[in-house]
Amino acid sequence: MTTPTTDAPAVREEVLEAVGLTKHFPVRAGLRTLLTRDRPAVHAVDDVHLTLRRGQVTALVGESGSGKSTVARLLAQLYPRTAGSVRLHGQLVTVRGGRPFRAYARKVQMIFQDPFASLNPVHTVRYHLTRALRIHGNAGRTGADLDAALAQLLERVALTPAERYLDKFPHELSGGQRQRVAIARALGADPEVLLADEPVSMLDVSIRLGVLNLLRDLKERLSLAILYITHDIASARYFADETLVMYAGRMVEGGDSETVTQQPAHPYTRLLIDSAPDPDRITGEAGPDERERGDGEPPSLIRPPAGCRFHPRCPAAMPRCATDLPPRLDVGDRPGHWAACWLYDPEAAPPATAVGADR
Ligand SMILES: Nc1ncnc2c1ncn2[C@@H]1O[C@H](COP(=O)(O)OP(=O)(O)OP(=O)(O)O)[C@@H](O)[C@H]1O
Ligand SMILES: [Mg+2]
């Protein structure tokens, strides 16, 4: 590691890095496509780059079907990749099942949306946590070691005293408590990375904040690198250090969460923010014209639009957007803020930032 210079912000250590991550799911070919070379596939994730750092939450935001869960599953090595690479502490990793997968899962754990589905209804909290500790070699040697490890796990997710919860079945717990048990189970591996796929979206609004605060506390206490997947860009501002926005299988914008949510650069990110529920705006009055707001349907991922995938819905689309794929371009307002959008092409005239900044 290099020593940071005096006033440069300290860059946190990289834990998990994905480069050019791509996943195409083949779809069943009809007779006609069998005769041609054109094999149809769902282009679920294309050329995704991301870095998860120690002690940092990275939010991955996008609407339904944009490929967020597929990214998480690729990072967890639950699917083979079509292309791209994943590095853990700089080491390339590709594992499929067996002991190598277990070793990888010890470092990289997933938390799912529905804790009821991810916990087995016929087993107690004690069973779930003991199993996780044993699989990952963290149960100790004696019964007393195991009891101490169980109590520590429940203490970490603020389910105390442990005895009150250990012999409960999932149906005897509230939704928030169940998700805390699922988080405790993930911590049983003593991981470095948590991939949290919409961890609070099934919970009552009133308890979401408690679970997010718990994850933030764990990030700090255990220096975890957390990927936080969500539809809710407002929660990314609150909870994540960095925010990445995905549209139709591609990353379209990234930067520190405050900048991405307060000064969104990509027209898609603006649409996401404008369509997020805002109590001040629920008046029942008709909004602006659909095309002006860029509303409409996400595209087919079997034949995604050429150029920028958002161009058919984009209120700022230019002719080149339909043909040329925009690279990551610096927005220029804050270091590290980028958008894959031709509005920020430094070589285009007039300067794009002037167009992008008028809101
Ligand atoms: N196993 C699969 N086989 C074929 N297509 C798939 C598979 N898994 C996902 N897809 C497709 O890939 C695209 C991305 O799906 P994904 O579940 O990653 O989206 P998402 O952003 O997590 O959506 P949501 O917010 O609804 O959870 C979708 O079009 C989906 O239908
Ligand atoms: Mg999903």
> Would you list the domain boundaries of the chain?
14-29+39-124+192-209+216-275+292-356
Kindly tell me if the per-residue pLDDT of 256 is higher than 50.
yes
Q: Which two tokens stand for residue 128?
A: 């779930």
The region of weakest confidence among 7-11, 53-57, 156-160, 306-310 is 7-11
The predicted model gives 214-232 an average pLDDT of 96
Ligand 1 centroid to Cα of residue 63, in Å, is 11
The region of weakest confidence among 92-101, 142-151, 334-343 is 92-101
Kindly tell me if the per-residue pLDDT of 1 is higher than 70.
no
Is residue 216 within 6 Å of ligand 1 at its C-beta?
no
From the CA of 62, give the closest atom in ligand 1: 21
Kindly tell me if the per-residue pLDDT of 284 is higher than 90.
no
Is residue 299 within 6 Å of ligand 1 at its C-beta?
no
Predicted pLDDT of residue 180: 97
Predicted pLDDT of residue 33: 58
Asked if 113 and 199 count as a contact pair (C-beta separation under 8 A), the reply is: yes
Ligand 1 pocket mutation, candidates 46, 63, 70, criterion most atoms within 8 A of CB? 70
Neighbours of ion ligand 2 (CB under 5 A): 69
Q: Which two tokens stand for residue 262?
A: 């307060």
Per the DSSP assignment, residues forming a β-bridge with 60 are 229, 244
Ligand 2 centroid to Cα of residue 275, in Å, is 19
Q: Which two tokens stand for residue 272?
A: 């996401």
Is residue 128 within 6 Å of ligand 1 at its C-beta?
no
From the CA of 113, give the closest atom in ligand 1: 27
Extract long-range pairs of 332-337: CB within 8 Å, 24+ residues apart.
Answer: 333/259, 333/263, 333/265, 333/357, 334/255, 334/256, 334/259, 334/263, 336/254, 336/255, 336/256, 337/254, 337/255, 337/256, 337/259, 337/260, 337/263, 337/265
Q: Whose CA is nearest to atom 3 of ligand 1?
A: 25
Tens of pLDDT, residue by residue over 167-181, are 999 999 999 999 999
Residue scoring higher pLDDT (278 or 130): 130
Ramachandran angles phi, psi of 267, nearest 5°: -55, -30
Is residue 298 within 6 Å of ligand 1 at its C-beta?
no
Predicted pLDDT of residue 299: 83
Residue scoring higher pLDDT (131 or 293): 131
Interatomic CA distance for residues 127 and 110, integer angstroms: 19
Q: What is the mean pLDDT of the chain?
A: 88
Q: Is the domain defined by 14-29+39-124+192-209+216-275+292-356 classed in CATH 3.40.50.300?
A: yes
Ligand 1 pocket mutation, candidates 21, 45, 60, 66, criterion most atoms within 8 A of CB? 66
Is residue 230 within 6 Å of ligand 1 at its C-beta?
no
The predicted model gives 309-333 an average pLDDT of 96
The predicted model gives 22-35 an average pLDDT of 76
Ligand 1 pocket mutation, candidates 68, 228, 297, criterion most atoms within 8 A of CB? 68
Ligand 2 centroid to Cα of residue 73, in Å, is 10
Is residue 62 within 6 Å of ligand 1 at its C-beta?
yes
Is residue 66 within 6 Å of ligand 1 at its C-beta?
yes
pLDDT band at 201; cut points 50, 70, 90: very high
Q: Whose CA is nearest to atom 1 of ligand 1?
A: 25
Residue scoring higher pLDDT (241 or 299): 241
Is residue 129 within 6 Å of ligand 1 at its C-beta?
no
Kindly tell me if the per-residue pLDDT of 67 is higher than 90.
yes
Residue scoring higher pLDDT (207 or 38): 207
Kindly tell me if the per-residue pLDDT of 277 is higher than 80.
no
Q: Which two tokens stand for residue 232?
A: 């809710």
39 DSSP 8-state letter? -
pTM of structure: 0.89
Q: Whose CA is nearest to atom 31 of ligand 1?
A: 65
Ramachandran angles phi, psi of 305, nearest 5°: -60, 145
Q: Whose CA is nearest to atom 6 of ligand 1?
A: 25
The predicted model gives 26-34 an average pLDDT of 69
Interatomic CA distance for residues 311 and 324, integer angstroms: 10
Ligand 2 centroid to Cα of residue 39, in Å, is 25
Ligand 1 centroid to Cα of residue 297, in Å, is 15
The predicted model gives 139-163 an average pLDDT of 96
